[in-house]
Every structure is written in structure tokens, then in C-alpha cells.
Amino acid sequence: MKIKDVMNQEVISVNEQTSPIEAFEKMYKNGVRRLFVIDDNGTPKGVVSYSDLIGVLNKLSDLNKENNQEKIKNIMTTNIMTVNSEENIKNAANLMLRADVSGLLVIKAKKPVGVITKTDICRLVAANLLIPKNDD
């Protein structure tokens, strides 16, 4: 099975100039634990996780959170783990295990087209194990 058949086609992203509080709000509203940092040309630049943001936001005083000049470009990880949408799902699972990450940016022609997570793969495995197949 190919990654494109399992991935989430919505890439929740921010740009490098986004503030940590705006990024956190976007994560919360979309129910995700990572945001990909994409430039205006659609090129992936980095990734910022929930734990990255919590660490930064905890350091800010309550009075300073709204006026903070910190930007995501200073917080993000620039080493983005990616897979091609045409690759086999096993490649994504192996990469996540080896790199100890919970999600990968899916690309096609060097542009983001989706996201695949450990949860997506677990759902696929569970469906294949728990749902009986029709042997017609």
C-alpha cells in the first residue's frame, strides 16, 4: 500500500514569521501536535512540535506573551523528515521508528501534499487485523 492511500491530505502549516502563541493556537484549533513551516513558495523549511512551543511559552512571562517578538524560525527544527507519496507505507513506518519521530511530511515533486503519522499507521494495522476480510 502506498503512503498516498493512507496519509492525511491536509498539511497544517505556518510560516517562519509566525509567533509561538499563534502557532500554539493553530495547533490547538486543529488538534495536531506538530506544525510544518512552509515558505511562500510552498517549500518546507522546518517543523515545530507541541513540546518545542511549550518550552518557549513557559519561559515567557504572562505579561510578555502577547508582545513577544520571538518567531517560529528561531524555534523550528530544520531537519524535516519526509517521504514521497508514492513510497510504500512500510518505508514510512521504518523511517519513523529509526528517526524516533511521530509524523512525516509527505512530498510529491518537492512540495508538501500530506502528513502521515504513527497513529495513521496504527489505524491501518488495526483495521487489517481486526476487520475480517471477505473471502468471496
Please indicate, yes or no, if residue 13 is contained in any of the structural domains. Answer: yes
Whether 52 is covered by a domain: the verdict is yes
Q: Which residues of the chain have a pLDDT value below 50? A: none
Q: What domain count does the chain have?
A: 1
Residue 27, pLDDT score: 96
Identify whether 36 is part of a domain: yes
Could you tell me if 112 and 44 are in contact, meaning their C-beta atoms sit under 8 angstroms apart?
Answer: yes
We report the CATH number of the domain holding residue 10 as 3.10.580.10
Rounded to whole angstroms, the Cα distance separating 36 from 14 reads 6
pTM: 0.83
pLDDT value at position 3? Answer: 95
- Tell whether 136 is covered by a domain: no
What letter does residue 103 receive in the DSSP assignment? E
Which residue segment(s) compose the domain that 32 sits in? Answer: 3-130
- The 10s digit of each residue's pLDDT in 48-70 is 999 999 888 877 655 565 556 78
d(CA 75, CA 46): 9
Query: At 40, phi and psi to the nearest 5?
Result: -65, -20
Do the Cβ atoms of 91 and 83 come closer than 8 Å? yes
Question: Within a domain: residue 23?
Answer: yes
Residue 69 lies in a domain: yes
What phi-psi label fits residue 54: left (phi over 0), alpha (psi between -120 and 50 degrees) or beta? alpha
Let me know if residue 135 belongs to a domain. no
Task: Give the list of residues 6+ apart from residue 65 with CB closer than 8 angstroms, or none.
Answer: 21, 57
- For residue 35, being part of any structural domain is answered with yes
